Amino acid sequence: MNSSAEQFKYDVIALNEVDSTNAYLFNLYRNDNNISEFLTVSAGYQFKGRGQRTSQGWESNRGENLLFSFLIKPRSVAIKDQFIISQMIALAIKEELDTFSDGFKIKWPNDIYWHDKKIAGILIETELKGSTFDVAIIGVGLNLLQTIFYGDAPNPISLIQITDKEINQNELMDNILIRFQSYYKSYNKHQNGLNIYQRYLKSIYRLKVRATYNDKNGDFIGRIIGVDKYGFLLLEDDQLSIRKYAFKEVRYKI
């Protein structure tokens, strides 16, 4: 990392276990609104972790994966532009994982995939103050050392399964946060997310690939042609019609 990145410091609360790192950090903030940006809570185990669409929540064996949440106060981000936060954290994770192997993509809106398998999920929760953001809590669950998955998620994979090498959890978390902070600092300075948006689009899983999707009307064949700046997925079907979807309005068929 460059010298400016090395100067980035943040406070960490490391817990052996917690119900949810997001919930824990929200409780801290509600008790003290003056806590600093990038305060981070990590945990070896979450017993009510959220974000993964399984009956058991986010599946993670104790001590085997990277589980953390951090806090920002994105008051320069307009509410209509909030998808930029999702783009920044997805890129930070994806681009850090790129240093280990090829094949990582961002599955809209912000899951991280290696080929057709999910390695990380992101949960962003926000609170408003009037017409601006007061706080955003960004939670990350990244499969690191786990090799056996018991939940009903269809396609999990971990970094050790990809690289066959154990990774230092704290160093990986540091590097993800440094990358995010770089994007966040640039956005706050220039108020222009075009570079972030372009990088995000180039990283989209299944971009321009014909595949099967499912919406309220059933299965159809289409290809992703983009994501607009507000976070809506744009799909072109076989009749060359453009379909526009918000989160949870369309499903990928794996």
Backbone dihedral angles phi then psi of residue 175, each to the nearest 5 degrees: -65, -35
Mark whether 146 and 245 lie in a shared domain. Answer: no
Q: Could you give the CA distance from residue 192 to residue 178 in angstroms, rounded to a whole number?
A: 19
Q: What is the DSSP letter of 132?
A: E
The alpha-helical segments, DSSP class H, found in 50-168 are: 83-97, 159-163
Q: Which neighbouring-strand residues pair with 40? A: 12, 70
Read off the pLDDT of each residue in 122-146 and give the average, rounded to a whole number: 95
In total, how many domains does the chain have? 2
Mark whether 28 and 147 lie in a shared domain. Answer: yes
Distance in angstroms between the alpha carbons of the first and the last residue of the chain: 36
Q: What is the DSSP letter of 246?
A: -
Mark whether 174 and 244 lie in a shared domain. Answer: no
Mark whether 247 and 132 lie in a shared domain. Answer: no
Do 70 and 174 form a contact (C-beta atoms < 8 A)?
no
Q: Could you give the CA distance from residue 169 to residue 176 in angstroms, rounded to a whole number?
A: 11
For the stretch 146-179, pLDDT in tens is: 998 877 677 999 999 999 998 999 999 999 999 9
- The domain in which residue 226 lies consists of 210-252
For the stretch 9-34, pLDDT in tens is: 899 999 999 999 999 999 999 999 99
- Rounded-to-10 torsion of CA 174, 179, 183, 189: 60
Q: What is the DSSP letter of 81?
A: G
Mark whether 219 and 111 lie in a shared domain. Answer: no
Alpha carbons within 13 A on the beta-carbon side of 112: 29
For the stretch 171-212, pLDDT in tens is: 999 999 999 999 999 999 887 899 999 999 999 999 999 999
Q: Could you give the CA distance from residue 7 to residue 25 in angstroms, rounded to a whole number?
A: 24
Spell out where the chain has E strands. 12-15, 40-43, 66-72, 104-107, 111-114, 117-129, 132-142, 210-215, 218-227, 233-237, 242-245, 251-252
Cis peptide before 154 (omega within 30 of 0): no
Mark whether 152 and 216 lie in a shared domain. Answer: no
Give the pLDDT confidence score for residue 18 in this predicted structure.
Answer: 96
Domain end marker among 184, 202, 220: 202
Mark whether 77 and 190 lie in a shared domain. Answer: yes
Nearest Cα to Cα of residue 204 among 178, 175, 234, 174:
234
Q: Could you give the CA distance from residue 219 to residue 250 in angstroms, rounded to a whole number?
A: 10
Mark whether 44 and 87 lie in a shared domain. Answer: yes
The secondary structure element, H or E, covering residue 3 is: helix 3-6
- Give the confidence band of 54 by pLDDT, cuts at 50, 70, 90: very low
**What CATH number has the domain bearing residue 237?**
2.30.30.100
For the stretch 36-49, pLDDT in tens is: 999 999 999 998 76
Q: What is the DSSP letter of 12?
A: E
Mark whether 8 and 130 lie in a shared domain. Answer: yes
- pLDDT reading at 59 higher than 70: no
Domain end marker among 202, 221, 241: 202
Q: Could you give the CA distance from residue 242 to residue 226 in angstroms, rounded to a whole number?
A: 10
189 or 3, which is more confident? Answer: 189
Domain end marker among 161, 180, 202: 202
For the beta carbon of residue 2, count every other beta carbon within 10 angstroms: 8
Mark whether 101 and 192 lie in a shared domain. Answer: yes
**What CATH number has the domain bearing residue 192?**
3.30.930.10
**CA 140 from chain center: how many Å?**
6
